[in-house]
Structure 1
Amino acid sequence: MSELDDEVGSAYSRLVGERLRSIRLQKNMSLGDVEQRSNQEFKASVLGAYERGERAVSVSRLERLARVYDVGVEQLLPRDPQRVEPGAAAPQGKLRIDVAKLSQMQGPQFSLLEKFLRMIQIQRQDFNGKVITVRAHDIRAIAVMLDVAVDEVPARLTSLGLVFVPPQA
């Protein structure tokens, strides 16, 4: 392997490490939590080395780590900056939905809405899982799922208790 190959590999390891750390933090897990949840398969010191890009992680270990984080393997890999969607900035008309509450609701429209929101989370690589901010173009799709007019979506979600309201300090 040439020095250039080493540099490229090292840079990629750092990018993978940044993704690993980002997902772990979004899951509100410490290095020790991951070690415990993986039954000591992923030692905190080794996972820290992966996150710093000091060690390359094998595909098989990446697959097992994805199971620990409950995400797809592809989500542990760095994003391709060439594939960032145009218009990814949030337009006005944003709405914050409590996905945790939604997951407890019964019925086909709620199941469909939850699947839709999970798809958005995967596209955005947002693994917090509790609250998602939907954008104006998403609200149109939600209106169809809830069988209401687009301008009625916020009121309908509010009446269902699904609009996230941050606790007051």
Structure 2
Amino acid sequence: MNKNNQAERLRMIRKSKGWSLQDVENHSNGKWKAVVIGSYERGDRAISLKKAISLMEFYQVPVSELFPEIAPIVSARSLTLDLVRISSGSDAHTEQIRRFTRLVSDRRKDWNGQLLTIRANDLQFLSLLLGLTDAATLDYLTEAELLTA
């Protein structure tokens, strides 16, 4: 992301909260100094990813709001889950995925029991159930080999 665009996004996010630079310092009990936030917003000072994440957590805004030009991981694309592998998994995430896939299959009246294609909004809902980001959910599904090619 262009440094100036990021600076503008930081300012826009702060202003969307209705806060001045001094309000940020006050609400954070001095953790975030007005002069530092101002320098990030002007683009005079680069913000590290770690600090950007921390600042977005403070603002209670998803860090993805700093990077709006990055398309969602699974936009129009669909994913195919391997229901056989999911049925044999034993960790907590796999159990939640198993319940999720049963509900989706029942709702769609798709009982083939082998594969289930999910859409981007299904992935978002699954991510909420797992308490993970969409990216972390996709990583988990990939690493656990629960997706088919």
Give the shorter-chain TM-score range.
0.3 to 0.5
After TM superposition, the score normalised by the length of structure 2 is 0.46
When normalised by structure 1's length, the TM-score is 0.41
Higher alpha-carbon Rg:
2
